[in-house]
Amino acid sequence: MTLLEVSSISRSFGGIRAVDEVSFALAGGERVAMIGPNGAGKSTCFNLLNGQLRPDAGRVLLAGRDVTLMGPAQKFRAGIGRTFQITATFASMTVAENVQMALLSHHGGLWNPWRRAHRALRDEAIGLLEQVGLVPQAARAAGVLAYGDLKRLELAIALANRPRLLLMDEPTAGMAPAERAALMNLASRIVSESGISMLFTEHDMDVVFGHADRVLVLNRGRLIFQGSGEAARADSRVRAVYLGTGTTSGGH
Ligand code: ADP
Ligand code: MG
């Protein structure tokens, strides 16, 4: 089933067509990587999908519903989650409280008379912390977590909203290679188990080819390729974009 359908979205900044008539679709549960050199338009594309930016033209459907012009909060409620772009954690609250806050917001906030009892929220928060391997840290302040653990907390917070689509723009930026692999393995496993679709950007091609069912290649705002990682590596247009390394194995 098609979850996300992006039809010919464009966005310019001054004279620069940052995203130029880009179209693609994501199936339910599919994990797709968007790659391309710096300035290709990847982050702009993500911001058009998460509601930070509005497209100049084009249409975005989520499960058949037109979400093109929704802002970030509406998109989030519609099931488009994102991680690692905003630091959504509160340093002085514990790890468990941070997840409980996110759950409270998902279940309708403090003023919803039907909201879950405190204990139920706490159990649900611990369940999410189990998924990301943070139960041992549940009672610590979020502010003292190591960087890799903070990323895992952010993932738990994103999952608290029960997203149908998870957007991750350079989720592993600033992480050491071993940590990167661990975070992506975790995110990839959770989305697969939960049937969540995932769209991510990543510089490390091992991560891309290890976790993407399909690859989209952007260059100068245009989508120049979509297909398997294998086919991307063999494609002459994709290779041309990555000239300088001559291959897609070490570029951006
Ligand atoms: P990527 O994430 O692939 O590196 P970006 O989407 O960040 O690419 O940028 C695409 C193009 O749009 C670049 O030329 C960049 O300079 C330009 N751009 C991105 N955001 C803005 C902005 N807020 N204002 C002006 N130009 C922007
Ligand atoms: Mg970017």
pLDDT digits (tens, 9 = 90+) for 144-168: 999 889 989 999 998 998 999 999 9
With a CB cutoff of 8 Å and minimum separation 6, the contacts of 107 are 115, 116, 121
Q: What is the DSSP letter of 142?
A: G
Which residue in 189, 183, 178, 214 sits closest to 199, CA to CA? 214
Q: Could you give the CA distance from residue 103 to residue 98 in angstroms, rounded to a whole number?
A: 9
- Is pLDDT of 7 > 80? yes
Q: Is 42 in the pocket of ligand 1 (CB under 6 A)?
A: yes
Distance CA 221, CA 74 (A): 26
pLDDT value at residue 82: 79
Closest CA to 250 of 209, 191, 218, 192: 209
pLDDT at residue 69 is higher than 50 = yes
The reported pTM is 0.89
Radius of gyration of the chain (CA): 18
Q: What's the CA angle centered on 167, arms 139 and 138, to 5 degrees? A: 5
pLDDT tens sequence across 217-242: 999 999 999 999 999 999 999 999 98
Q: How many residues does the chain have?
A: 252
Measured CA to CA, the distance from residue 94 to residue 173 in angstroms comes to: 24
Q: Which two tokens stand for residue 93?
A: 């609250």
Tell me which residue has its CA closest to atom 20 in ligand 1.
44
Mutate which of 9, 10, 11, 13 to test ligand 1's pocket (most atoms within 8 Å of Cβ)? 13
What's residue 246's pLDDT? 45
Residue nearest ligand 1's atom 13 by CA: 39
The verdict on the CB of residue 15 being under 6 Å from ligand 1 is: no
**Nearest ligand 1 atom to alpha carbon 38:** 4
77 contacts 71 by C-beta, under 8 angstroms: no
Ligand 1 within 6 A of CB of 173: no
Residue 53 near ligand 1, beta carbon < 6 Å: no
Q: Domains of the chain by range and CATH?
A: 1-69+203-252 (3.40.50.300)
CA 221-48-169 angle, 5° bins = 80
Reported as a single tens digit per residue, the pLDDT across 161-195 is 899 999 999 888 888 888 888 999 999 999 999 99
